[in-house]
Amino acid sequence: MVWVPPRPSSTDRRAPLRTPAPRCTTMSMEWLLDWSWSLDGLRDFIATGIQSFRDCDATALAAVACLLVLFMWYCYHVGREQPRAYATVNALMQSAEANGVQNGFVYCHSPECARCTHHDGLNQKLYHNLQEYAKRYSWSGMGRIHKGIREQGRYLNSRPSIQKPEVFFLPDLPTMPYFSRDAQKHDVELLERNFQTILCEFETLYKAFSNCSLPQGWKMNSTPSGEWFTFYLVNQGMCVPRNCRRCPRTYRLLGSLRTCIGNNVFGNACISVLSPGTVIAEHYGPTNIRIRCHLGLKTPSNCELVVGGEPQCWAEGRCLLFDDSFLHTAFHEGPPEEGPRVIFMVDLWHPNVAAAERQALDFIFAPGR
């Protein structure tokens, strides 16, 4: 007898159960499909690029290659440059102290200083500095400076006696003895807003005159009559550390001026004091690339500034802008009881000297270069 398993009835028949595929297998299949599509797209993209490259004009390819080479050369050139270190105020002061500061006044000891050197080789030295600048950066925008250096002797010798800068003349700059306040409006307004701050620091300094004839940090200048004292914060592009520490708010204010000349030998900032009866001899400034700003701190009667034969008077809390490459003088003929005439002086860029020219002039006339 053979046993036969019973067949299920039609009512008991059910669809066989399907075991679901693992989730990881499904994800793998989807990823493989996406990857194959990505490879197909990448293959099509490469094929299209190669075909476009074959169809491209040879002149266009050469132009692209030249641009690529120039870009690589520029990156290499910039990469070779040593990054410029921006020193803090304290580091700057310590550096200036180490470079010879006497009685708070920086004296130039370099025979090669362009500001203090007057000899036949000066033009060659300036041209060498310009070439060095152009090699590092660019000749773009250097037309006027190149023209000025090349023909400097002719410019200085042929200038009319009313304007004759002693060191460097930049051609094609608008020329006038006095400038309006709008020439450097931002810096003029900033100085005038801080009039009381500068005046307070001066009054603290001036108290030392009752104890000795020439307090530390002050410099006496040669005059035909009377006494002319100056207290420099920046002298020929270099800060005077001890003096800056004694006028910290005024020194910080210089950093807020947009057009202050602070990186070349033509930049100065100082307090200037004329005692009653003082006359400053007529003289010329070193260059026409700057305008000199006088902020009146104390302005007695009978005090005048004469530039190019035109007299002007100072006013307390107001700025007076002029081109000191013109023949100029100043005097104080007021009574002794009115006290000294006091101004804060700072050199600003001539408004028509372009940014590229300013950068180049800072390089060419850097202190000690």
Q: Is the pLDDT of residue 254 over 60?
A: yes
User: Residue 266 in contact with residue 287, Cβ under 8 Å?
Assistant: yes
> Residue 284 falls within a domain, yes or no?
yes
**Which range (162-171, 211-220, 357-366) has the least confidence?**
211-220
For residue 311, give the CATH number of its domain. Answer: 2.60.120.330
Chain CA centroid to CA 345, Å: 19
Q: Of residues 304 and 78, which shows the higher confidence score? A: 304
**pLDDT confidence bin for 26, thresholds 50/70/90:** low
Total domains present in the chain: 1
> Residue 221 falls within a domain, yes or no?
yes
User: Residue 275 in contact with residue 331, Cβ under 8 Å?
Assistant: no
**pLDDT confidence bin for 153, thresholds 50/70/90:** confident
> Residue 337 falls within a domain, yes or no?
yes
> Residue 135 falls within a domain, yes or no?
no
> Residue 315 falls within a domain, yes or no?
yes
Tokens of 357: 């020219």
The reported pTM is 0.70
Q: Domain range for residue 230? A: 166-354
Residues with Cβ within 8 Å of 304's Cβ and at least 6 positions away in sequence, in order, are: 311, 312, 313, 330, 331
Q: Is the pLDDT of residue 11 over 50?
A: no
Q: For the range 88-93, what are the long-range contacts, defined as Cβ-Cβ under 8 Å and sequence gap of 24 or more? A: 89/244, 89/251, 92/239, 92/241, 93/239, 93/241, 93/244, 93/245
> Residue 311 falls within a domain, yes or no?
yes
> Residue 359 falls within a domain, yes or no?
no
**Mean of per-residue pLDDT scores for the chain:** 81
> Residue 133 falls within a domain, yes or no?
no
User: Residue 328 in contact with residue 322, Cβ under 8 Å?
Assistant: yes
